[in-house]
A and B are shown apart, each in its own frame.
Chain A
Amino acid sequence: MRFLSAFIVGLIFGVGIAISGMINPAKVLNFFDVAGTWDPSLIFVMGGALVTTFIGYRLVLRRDKPVIEEKFQLPAASAIDARLIGGSAVFGIGWGIAGFCPGAAIPALGSGKIEVVGFVVALLAGLWVARAIRDRQTGKGAVA
């Protein structure tokens, strides 16, 4: 049940990324290229995802607990600090360089393109190095 539901959630996410165009770095980079070959499609991806999640979360979170686990695990962190802003800025720079964010790159692996494999390997290396730095700074860090 746990595996099956996770697979189905991933599948729906992957189909969404694929048909929305998020899977295509050319389209993502064009979204940011307002001064050039602008393609505003991604506003519709964000809008559709946000409205659906906003409404859906309100329905689901009325329940006492999720179907499989014992309780809802919602992020408790509230600090708006240099780490959050600096990390997000660095992410944005990388996103603007390559045109992939993590959630778009994973489904894109299904296309079989070697460029996507390269991006994901570099992404995993970055995640690993950053975790190592963070864990050294803070003792043992929590899972992001």
Chain B
Amino acid sequence: MTGVETEFTPLQSLAGGVLIGLSAVLLMFFQGKILGATGILSGLIAGTAPGDKGWRAAMVAGMIAGPLLVLAVTGQMPVVDVPVSWPMILAGGFIVGIGVTFGSGCTSGHGVCGNARLSPRSMVATVTFMIASGITVYVIRHVVGG
């Protein structure tokens, strides 16, 4: 299962990254909170206080509206190409859910917000999940998939 080439997009990726950072800064400005997708979702499904669910749902709605706004402005839906099988999609999702709960965060919470705060925990988490993901992709594409 080797990959299919994707175009190198440094400027768009940089601009997108700046927007991701801006959203994290704005959440700290308004609500004083770290922007972590794990925490947002986890709080939605957990038995947190009723008043705590509304803003999370509003944020998730905003996130989902993001690519639709891109579609409205540019006339093109951003490419979402899932190059793996259904069993891998489902297993991957479940494994990610387990990992981010015990690891207390993911790419947004640790990778962006925690590292920006120079949190040693987040730095260790980020290095760990980047290496684990790299090894996994290598094994799937070049060892198993050959």
Contacts and interface: CB of A to CB of B under 8 A. Distances in A.
Contacts of A69: 31-33
Contact of B124 (A40, A84, A101): A84
B102 A83 contact: yes
Where chain B touches its partner, the secondary structure class is helix
B88 A97 contact: yes
A48 B20 contact: yes
Interface in B77-94: 77-84, 86, 88-94
Contacts of A107: 63-64, 66-67
Interface in A18-70: 18-27, 29-30, 32-37, 39-42, 44-54, 56-57, 59-61, 63, 65-69
A12 B34 CA distance: 15
A11 B23 CA distance: 8
A142 B15 CA distance: 35
B104 A84 contact: yes
Interface string B118-146: 01110011101111111111101110000
B142 A111 contact: no
B15 A52 contact: no
Contacts of A119: 82, 89-90, 92-93
Interface residues of B, number: 119
Contacts of A2: 30-31, 54-55, 58
Contacts of A128: 45, 97
Contacts of B103: 83-91
Contacts, number: 523
Given A24-B80, A32-B137, A126-B101, A37 B3 contact: yes
Contacts of B84: 25, 29, 97-99
Contacts of A113: 80, 82
A35 B27 contact: no
A72 B32 contact: yes
A54 to B, nearest CB: 4
Which 4 A-B pairs have CB atoms at the shortest separation, nearest pair first? A14-B66, A126-B97, A20-B16, A10-B62
Interface of A: 2-27, 29-30, 32-37, 39-42, 44-54, 56-57, 59-61, 63, 65-69, 71-75, 77-80, 83-111, 113, 115-116, 118-131, 134, 143-144
Given A91-B100, A122-B97, A125-B93, 9 more contacts: A12-B66, A14-B63, A14-B64, A90-B132, A98-B92, A119-B93, A120-B93, A126-B96, A130-B98
Interface of B: 2-43, 45-46, 48, 54-56, 58-70, 77-84, 86, 88-108, 110-117, 119-121, 124-126, 128-138, 140-142
